Chain A
Amino acid sequence: MKVVLLLICLLSAGCAPKPWIKPYERARLADPVMAMDRHPASSAYQHHVHQAREGARGAEGGSGGGCGCN
């Protein structure tokens, strides 16, 4: 069983240019607590609160994660 699992994991990662974090090591990154934008309606409003009262604008975030955790 372990050999099969190892083989599948190795083959899955085979096409990638040696990622140093394997897909099966990304459980923590995929946890909802790690999402930078957990509640889009709420964070959009919070950005609006700042934009309306501060001179700065842009680079507010909301970009997707590279871990596939979304």
Chain B
Amino acid sequence: MQLRCLLALLLLPVWVNAAVLPEERADALYHRYEGGGMTIDGPSVLVRKNIAERVSFSANYYADKVSAASIDVVTTASPYTEERDEYSFGTDYLAGKAIYSLKWTQSDESDYSARSVSFGASQDFFGDLTTLSFGYARGDDTVRRSDDPVFEEEAMRQQYRIGVTQVLTRNLLMAFSHEFVSDEGYLNNPYRSVRYQVGSGYSFQSEVYPETRSSEATALRASYYLPWRAGLHFEHRWYSDSWGVGSRDWGLVLVQPWQEKWELEFRARYYDQTAADFYSDLFPFQDAQNFLARDKELSTFTSTSFGVAAGYTFFKGRWKHADRFLVRLSLDHYRFEYDDFRDIRVAVPVAGDEPLYGFSAVVSQLLFSVWY
């Protein structure tokens, strides 16, 4: 009992001053997505360093190497390879029970560039049982075409978010978050086409999207401490936007430590979406309406995923400047089932009779982390 009280005393300053800077750690991640004819892999390196327990700096390099032969690509274009590099730098400043954050991100690929700046603040209240946070981000994108050096369009995005995290019991935390996003400018993919009926066959024309989009997403999360020392995390999010897309998703994660050095994680997620108002797999004729889309991301579909992860922690041993190391392997299996997107690789006598499309994907991650 006395030992437990002493431990509580030692940790008291941390808990009382609830606002704390993120952990000082460096992560090297190899990520790989494989499915639906796409292979995307690359590294992500994230380093964070705190100074005088008041300021924290972070830097992230992330790369995607894309080898694309997806259903869109093989039916309307030729397979291609591409690389995207993203750099971001951030800083967090701790002032009493508040943390102010600033982040800058730049992403480049051969036909797309994106820059964004975000600002956030969070403040603890009510005996540090409640944390209120809000943030704003602005992104400016430049869209180009690899086959047309003259083509160049702009898009601008603004994001506003607010969140509340609440300690409910000594075993239960809940978090509510809401985000409003508005886009303006060229929001199409310049390569993508829609198909329309011509007799019993079909032909293609370019997609036409509205030049504005606004969306609202609300999420509720809960984390519960199970009696045998495990964390159970639940998440539900609902989403709607001005294009008529609506979705809901549910997620469950169990974090289970095993012996002293192992951390196991089991995940399940279900995502359900309804199509945009101007989406159709097959339009009745050319220029059938003002806006036209056949992007399967805007169709009606469900996605189900199951994942596992296993992490092993090494303690510092002879290393002077490091506290501990982690090696973690994570695997997720996804299944996408489309309700109104057809597999036009299958030849049929009458357009629109093709089987519905669906595919599976495997996401693997290998993470190496060091805390110092």
Q: How far apart are A8's CB and chain B's nearest CB, in angstroms?
A: 7
Count how many chain B residues have C-beta atoms less than 8 Å from C-beta atoms of the other chain.
88
B135 and chain A: residue at smallest CB distance: A63
Q: Which residues of A contact B256 (CB under 8 A)?
A: 33
Q: Which of A11-60 contact B (CB under 8 A)?
A: 12-13, 16-21, 23-36, 38-42, 44-46, 49-50, 53-60
Beyond A12-B12, A31-B229, whether A49 also contacts B46 by CB under 8 A is no
Contact of A5 among B5, B276, B330 (CB under 8 A): B5
Q: Which residues of A contact B178 (CB under 8 A)?
A: 59
Beyond A8-B9, A45-B29, whether A30 also contacts B170 by CB under 8 A is no
Q: Which of B71-97 contact A (CB under 8 A)?
A: none
Contact of A28 among B20, B170, B336 (CB under 8 A): B170
Q: A70 and B225: CB pair below 8 A?
A: no
Q: B127 and A40: CB pair below 8 A?
A: no
Q: How far apart are B350's CB and chain A's nearest CB, in angstroms?
A: 29
Beyond A31-B231, A40-B27, whether A66 also contacts B16 by CB under 8 A is no
Q: B15 and A26: CB pair below 8 A?
A: yes
Beyond A21-B167, A33-B255, A34-B231, whether A54 also contacts B271 by CB under 8 A is yes
Q: B165 and A63: CB pair below 8 A?
A: yes
What number of A-B contacts does a CB cutoff of 8 Å give? 212
Q: How far apart are B146's CB and chain A's nearest CB, in angstroms?
A: 19
Categorize the interface residue count of chain A. 35 or more
Q: Which residues of B contact A38 (CB under 8 A)?
A: 255
State the CA gap A57–B263 with chains docked (Å): 29
Q: How far apart are A40's CB and chain B's nearest CB, in angstroms?
A: 6
B31 and chain A: residue at smallest CB distance: A45
Residue B310, interface by CB 8 Å:
no
State the CA gap A20–B180 with chains docked (Å): 33
State the CA gap A58–B223 with chains docked (Å): 20
Contact of B127 among A18, A24, A45, A63 (CB under 8 A): A18
Q: Which residues of B contact A41 (CB under 8 A)?
A: 27, 29, 44-46, 60, 367
Q: What 6 additional pairs, Cβ within 8 angstroms, besides A33-B255, A56-B237?
A: A21-B167, A31-B229, A44-B60, A45-B62, A55-B297, A56-B247
Name 25 A/B residue pairs within 8 A (Cβ), A-sorted.
A1-B5, A8-B9, A17-B127, A27-B8, A27-B11, A33-B229, A40-B46, A41-B29, A45-B29, A55-B273, A56-B215, A57-B239, A58-B215, A58-B239, A59-B161, A63-B163, A64-B131, A64-B133, A64-B165, A65-B173, A66-B129, A66-B166, A67-B15, A68-B19, A68-B128
Query: Nearest 8 CB-CB pairs, A to B?
Result: A19-B127, A16-B127, A68-B18, A58-B179, A33-B231, A58-B217, A24-B8, A66-B131
